[in-house]
Structure 1
Amino acid sequence: MESEDCFETHVAERLKRLRVGRGLTLDQLAEASGVSRAMISRIERTEASPTAALLARLCSALGVSLSVFFASTEAEPSPLSRRVEQPIWRDPESGYLRRAVSPQGTGSGTDIVEVEFPAGAELRFPGRPTGRSQTQHVWVFEGVIELIVGDTVHRLEAGDCLFMNVGDVHGYRNPTDRAARYAVVISLGP
């Protein structure tokens, strides 16, 4: 299994590769994302772990979704993704655990993510214009989550599934004292 430390290195390398690939300096990415230059530099040097909200702001400024950001560009294409090889990432602020379930490198227009969301946890996102071409389903397996989509709060319980535009999601919250587990199925657009 890929360790969280190893995946943090992947996050740092991926951020720098995307920034440099778009011809952006640290200052330009800082201005576009609203994240300080110092923080971006610390993330790229693996001295800091970005929160989910901070990473969402960086991805928006880079013009990619979180799913595209986390996709491995070096993965050998395979139709099979074994659980022990699936990359995981934990948000250092909320404890949210994200597991990339989809086989990587297949060129599929669908991305599947498994999430473990701790009791009482909350994530807030700014609207993300880059997510406007992507849609997602959130399907709850265990527990309860509340999603803020546009101006509406949706309470989802085990078995419930909600469809939405990725750019309209402003937050996730677990209002209970039990962890929630759910899948996010993302259509990456045309």
Structure 2
Amino acid sequence: MALNHLGEKIKRIRLERGMTLKILAEKTGFSISFLSQLERGKSSATLESLKKISIAFGVNPSYLFEEERVGEDQSFIFEQRMDAHQIYYKDLGAMVSPRDFAPLYVVLKPGQIEGNLITHKGQEFLYVIEGILTVRLEDNIYELNPTESIMLDSTRPHYWYNYTNQEVRLLCVSSEVKGE
């Protein structure tokens, strides 16, 4: 997915929800300037910024990567990726809408260590397929190896990182964030 496509999608969702850049800035903690540049494709996003924006919109982060669906057959899996930001999502549940939870296949590139703790409504279940995933939950640090998992209350401050020089592949099942 092109950087500009992501920015256009963020702007479209923001306008659909009747939000100004100022309102989105207040909900995310980002500056109006940053959000404007992101929408115009002049700035890049981190996993953290995409999560905060999706929370402000009341959608799962994978929604920002979804391509518009054409036709009636939605029984196949859609892939979403954004190489410019070293984030890869594959929404494994895109064929069902509305839904109560979102199963995502996520790849964290080596050294993906940026991001501050976040909170949002719901729960997350993380299952490591490959690599070593570092999960911070408040003041606790967990290192998960392949076939290990953790389930957490997303209202508690948390974030996940890849401190290694290899990709981390994981399954993230999160409850859908409902709009307020």
Which TM-score band applies after superposition, normalised by the shorter structure?
A: 0.7 to 0.9
Taking structure 2 as the reference length, the TM-score comes to: 0.81
CA deviation vs aligned residue, 1:38-76 (integer Å, no higher than 9, x gap): 221122122223211122222333333323444456465
Please give the alpha-carbon distance, in whole angstroms, between the structure 2 residues aligned to 1:117 and 1:150.
Answer: 21
Q: Measure the CA separation in 2 of the matches of 1:100 and 1:67.
A: 6
Q: CA RMSD in A?
A: 2.6
Structure that is richer in helix per residue: 1
Q: CA deviation at 1:186?
A: 1.8
The 1:184/1:123 distance shift into structure 2, 3 A limit, reads farther
Alignment partners' CA distance in 2, 1:74 and 1:31: 31
Equivalent of residue 65 in structure 1, options 49, 60, 64? 60
TM-score, reference length from structure 1: 0.77
Distance in 2 between residues matched to 1:103 and 1:75, nearest whole Å: 13
Is contact 1:100-1:113 (8 Å) kept? yes
Tell me what 1:20 maps to: 15
State the distance in 2 between where 1:41 and 1:148 align.
30
- CA-to-aligned-CA distance 1:87-119 (integer Å, 9 cap, x gap): 212462xx2322323234533323121122223
Equivalence for 2:76:
80
State which drifts further: 55-64 or 71-80: 71-80
1:52 aligns with 2:47: yes
Number of residue pairs aligned between Structure 1 and Structure 2: 177
Distance 1:181-1:64 versus aligned 2 partners, 3 A rule: same
Query: How do 1:6-155 residues align onto structure 2 when only pairs under 5 Å count?
Result: 8-71=3-66, 74=69, 76=71, 78-81=74-77, 85-90=78-83, 92=85, 95-128=86-119, 131-132=120-121, 134-155=122-143
Q: Return the alpha-carbon distance in structure 2 between the equivalents of residues 73 and 108 of structure 1.
A: 17
- The CA distance in 1 between the partners of 2:123 and 2:161, in whole Å, is 20
- Judge conservation of contact 1:57–1:126 (CA < 8 Å) in 2: no
Gaps of at least 5 residues in structure 2 are none
Tell me by how many angstroms 1:11 deviates. 2.1
CA 89–165 in structure 1, closer or farther in 2 if over 3 Å, else same: farther
Residue identity opposite 1:57 in structure 2? K
What fraction of aligned residue pairs are identical, expressed as a percent?
Answer: 21
Q: Given residue 61 of structure 1, which amino acid in structure 2 is its aligned partner?
A: A
CA distance 1:98–1:33, shift in 2 (3 Å): same
Is 1:136–1:185's contact at 8 Å kept on the other side of the alignment? yes
Kept in 2: contact 1:118–1:180 (CA 8 A): yes
